[in-house]
Each structure stands twice: as structure tokens, then as C-alpha cells.
A = this chain, B = another copy of it.
Amino acid sequence: MNPQKTFENLPDEKRQRILSEATREFADHGYHQASINTIVNKLGIAKGSLFKYFGNKQGLFEYLFGDAISQFKQPLKAIRDTDSGDFFQRIEKSFLASGAFTQSHPHLYRIYLKMLFNENFPLREKFLTEIRRAHDKFLRQLVEDGIASGQLRKDLDIDITVFTIHSIFDRFLQSHTVPTLDHGVGPSGQSLEDLAQAMTDLLRHGLTESPN
């Protein structure tokens, strides 16, 4: 029988405990340095069980992160399907929604960040491309809508604009998720909401006024 099925037939609580513990281990140590031994010891289950469920270490990681990817995308979809035509309102909502997600799933987000700069994660190309594409597609549509509706300057370079928003987006998320990165500098003392609004304002003025 499909062994992954075995895992999915487990009681919900146990399944969540396993995924959660494994996620934490990968978040703390990255892929190669994460230890199956540590995971099963903390969980109090047999080593063999984990391998029954996922085949091998890579299988566990792929299951766990593939699962996370779809959750990553949820907030964005919700925003895009909003019928509000206001560009900056949607941007701000996006900031907040993504921030909320990374704050409630800090381990997943830390895995993502590790993966970004560590070439050794399995399926790294596939996963990163998937995330990147989703983000870009989402932002591009927002920008195009904004230009079409006259809220943004007609002469904006869409590539650059998407790239810039994306950059600020990323940094915004990072600053509120990875605690040890804040060393008393930067605006991290402020609330998520304040920061989101301030950044939206900054974008507002950069993107709307025509240059002389």
C-alpha cells in the first residue's frame, strides 16, 4: 500500500505533531543539518515509522514544504479576488495578509528563507520558482489594474515596479519573522499595521506622481 497513505490515515493530532516537529527541525537547522534522530526522539516515535510515512528524509521534506506552499498562496488569492479597485488598499492588505501568515507560520517561513540562499535543499528550484511565479503574477496584475484605472503613472516600467514592490514585500516579511535579525536598528519596534501603512504611503508617492 502507498506508505504516504499510512501517514494520512493517522489521527489528525498525531499528524500535526509530526509535521510541526519536523518543520521546526528543518527551520532550525536547514535540510542537511536537520536530524531525523532528533525529530523522532522529540516525538517519541520509532525511527522506522517516519521512514514508513515518507520513504526518506527528502520525502518528509517535500511533503512538508509542498503542503506549505499551497498555504503560502492562500492569502494572495484572497486579495486578488477582492473586488476593491483601490490599488494601495490592496497592496496594504497584501502586506498585512502575508505578514499575518509568516507570523503564524514562522517555521515555514524560516525554511523558505534558508532555501532561498542555500542551494542544497531538495526540489529547491521547483519550490522557489513556484513561489516566485505566484508572487509575481499577483503583483503584476495589481500593477496593471492600477495603471489601467489611472491610479498609477502610465509610464511606469512594470518589471521594475513589480521587482521593487517585491523587494519591499520580502524585506517587510523578513523584518517581522526572523527575530535574531533585528539588532536594535531598523523600524522593528513598530507594529505590523503601522509598518504596512508607512510602506504603502511610501509606495504611493513613488508610484503616482509623474516626474518632471
Residues of A within 8 A of B (CB): 28-30, 32-33, 110, 113-114, 116-120, 124-125, 128-129, 132-133, 136, 151-157, 159-164, 166-168, 170-172, 175, 178, 180-181, 183, 185-187, 190, 195, 198-199, 201-211
Contact = CB atoms under 8 A, between A and B. Distances in A.
A49 B186 CA distance: 43
Given A170-B171, A205-B205, A206-B209, 13 more contacts: A30-B118, A32-B33, A33-B120, A117-B178, A128-B181, A155-B210, A159-B187, A163-B186, A164-B202, A167-B170, A204-B206, A204-B211, A205-B206
Nearest to A137: B185
Nearest to A1: B41
Contact of A208 (B128, B159, B163, B205): B205
A170 to B, nearest CB: 7
A210 B152 CA distance: 9
A12 to B, nearest CB: 25
A24 B81 CA distance: 45
B195 A205 contact: no
Contact of A133 (B133, B161, B185): B185
A157 B153 CA distance: 24
A77 to B, nearest CB: 18
A203 B211 contact: no
A29 B181 CA distance: 21
Nearest to A87: B207
